[in-house]
Amino acid sequence: MRDRTAAIIVIGNEILSGKVADTNSAFLTRELRRLGVSVRRILVIPDDLDEIAETVDTYHRAVDIVFTSGGVGPTHDDVTIAGVARGLGRSVVRHPWLEQKIREFSGDQADEARLKMAEVPDGARLLFGGSLIFPALQVENIYILPGIPELFRDKFEGIKDRFASDPFHMRVIYARGVESALAHYLNETLLAFPLLQLGSYPKLNDPEYQVRVTLESKDRAYVDRAFDDLMARLPPDVIVRTE
Amino acid sequence: MRDRTAAIIVIGNEILSGKVADTNSAFLTRELRRLGVSVRRILVIPDDLDEIAETVDTYHRAVDIVFTSGGVGPTHDDVTIAGVARGLGRSVVRHPWLEQKIREFSGDQADEARLKMAEVPDGARLLFGGSLIFPALQVENIYILPGIPELFRDKFEGIKDRFASDPFHMRVIYARGVESALAHYLNETLLAFPLLQLGSYPKLNDPEYQVRVTLESKDRAYVDRAFDDLMARLPPDVIVRTE
């Protein structure tokens, strides 16, 4: 089955200094999972040209799709465009369509700071969609999105259809008792189904269950067989309910 | 002034697959900032031995303090201990104190899964503190914390005093208008105060202000002088209030 991999690079000193909590990566991770895309890594890095360039250089070769969040505004600390360009060995150019829109919008106030918003890595495509007039950017396998959560979501909604892959299928077992009492059964099922994505997550202070066991695969029949295998192994009094 | 740097490594397929949102890194980032520690990078990586080892190897040399979150339970997907050990070129050993506690607690149910919880990288120290009997682990500059948010917080609260460094000082200007209209003034202040940590954060749909400008440094006098410099440059009608 087709699998596509992704990395999410969140760029922003405000997150590393604890002034703003990153919500974009959690939103994007959930959306990509629904689309059948495997997120391999999430990174939060500073507004630093060299660090952005190095991270982009590494991940654009390591995964199928790279998303960046943040650092695309008009001020001194917005260096994502220059960082992505450097990471790909490209120059930064002013995009004619963006420049025209900014000049139309700003009139005689179109100074260097405003025109900085027209800069893109050379060869970048403008991706329209969503409710904002300003597009997202794509260059090679890198998608450059704004950091403000409302804008990030709007731009992603506008382009997400292109990322759809074969979906994941998940079954869930809610269990009672300590996680260590389940480990033996999980290991046996994993030996029989080595390609299964099997997760075991303890939950504190829940009156209904103590461990949530998830079984996942892109192959629905495989995950169903693994689910039946594990259910047959588990002591019946352990099982609270299943999904 | 003394500066200490940190990296946060969140380990967990459940986060990369969007089943659970990571809240530990945001909590820890805020706490570390208050303690005067500079977080340089946050990573979310899978429950994968090689990836954990490689990440630990990289960051334990790049920053002063590394925190890991998650992957320390009794099941097949809990490979943080083995990953940290491999990243540091150490073996995994069973810690006598942990083994004894598990045997006391579990009696004749102390099977391999339960005793897995007694494993540590060779040379690791047990760090007591917080309300849980089970300790956090330290090996070299790496602090290994559990992933369940309630336990993560409890263990960090128990050990946080050791990380205290010189504090950061912050001044804030809440401004009206578009961010690009401020860029010129921010750049001038940054030229005069090149060591200033200067951030500019647009806020959508706020009736009071449109941009939050933050000025930070470990040198209180420096940040106060930079604040005065910027306030003198900004057109008075731009300033909503300051902190």
Q: A16 contacts in B (CB within 8 Å)?
A: 29, 38-42
Q: A73 contacts in B (CB within 8 Å)?
A: 179-180, 200, 202
- pLDDT tops 90 at residue B52: yes
pLDDT of residue B107: 81
Q: A186 contacts in B (CB within 8 Å)?
A: 75-76
Q: A19 contacts in B (CB within 8 Å)?
A: 33, 199, 201, 214
Q: Identify the band that residue A174 occupies on the pLDDT scale cut at 50, 70 and 90.
A: very high
- pLDDT tops 90 at residue A177: no
- pLDDT tops 80 at residue B187: yes
- Inter-CA distances, B33 with A65, A164, B64, B200, Å: 32, 39, 14, 18
What percent of chain B is predicted at pLDDT more than 90?
A: 82
Residue pair B160/B31 in contact by the 8 Å Cβ criterion: yes
CA distance B81 to B117: 9
pLDDT in tens, B74-129: 888 899 999 999 999 999 999 999 999 989 988 887 788 888 899 999 999 999 98
Q: Identify the band that residue B242 occupies on the pLDDT scale cut at 50, 70 and 90.
A: very high
Q: A114 contacts in B (CB within 8 Å)?
A: 180
Topology (CATH) of A169-242: Alpha-Beta Plaits (3.30.70)
Domain ranges in chain A are 4-163, 169-242
Please list, in sequence order, all residues whose beta carbon lies within 8 angstroms of the beta carbon of residue B133, skipping any fewer than 6 positions away.
B101
Continuous segment of H or E residues that includes residue A151: helix A149-159
- Inter-CA distances, A196 with A162, A187, B16, B151, Å: 27, 11, 16, 28
pLDDT of residue B185: 94
pLDDT of residue A217: 95
- pLDDT tops 80 at residue B2: no
Residue pair A56/A9 in contact by the 8 Å Cβ criterion: yes
CA distance A136 to A124: 10
Cβ contacts below 8 Å, chain A against chain B, sum to 174
Residue pair B28/B43 in contact by the 8 Å Cβ criterion: no
**Class of domain A4-163 (CATH, top level):** alpha beta
Residue in chain B nearest A149 by alpha carbon: B204
pLDDT of residue B229: 97
- pLDDT tops 90 at residue B169: yes
- Inter-CA distances, B31 with A3, A79, B65, B73, B163, Å: 38, 27, 14, 25, 10
Q: In the predicted model, what is the mean pLDDT of chain A?
A: 93
Question: Residue A77 is nearest to which of B38, B46, B199, comparing CB atoms?
Answer: B199
Q: Measuring CA to CA, which residue among B45, B110, B115, B114 is closest to residue B84?
A: B45
Cβ contact, residue pair B16, A42, below 8 Å:
yes
Q: Identify the band that residue A3 occupies on the pLDDT scale cut at 50, 70 and 90.
A: confident
CA distance A175 to A188: 17
Cβ contact, residue pair B187, A76, below 8 Å:
yes
ipTM: 0.93
Residue pair A229/A189 in contact by the 8 Å Cβ criterion: yes
pLDDT of residue B18: 94
pLDDT of residue B14: 94
pLDDT of residue B218: 94
Cβ contact, residue pair B186, A75, below 8 Å:
yes
CA of B22 vs chain A CAs: smallest distance (Å): 8
Residue in chain A nearest B168 by alpha carbon: A17
Please list, in sequence order, all residues whose beta carbon lies within 8 angstroms of the beta carbon of residue B127, skipping any fewer than 6 positions away.
B135, B136, B137, B138, B143, B155, B158, B159
CA distance B164 to A144: 37
Cβ contact, residue pair B44, A25, below 8 Å:
yes
Three-state secondary-structure class, residue B3: coil
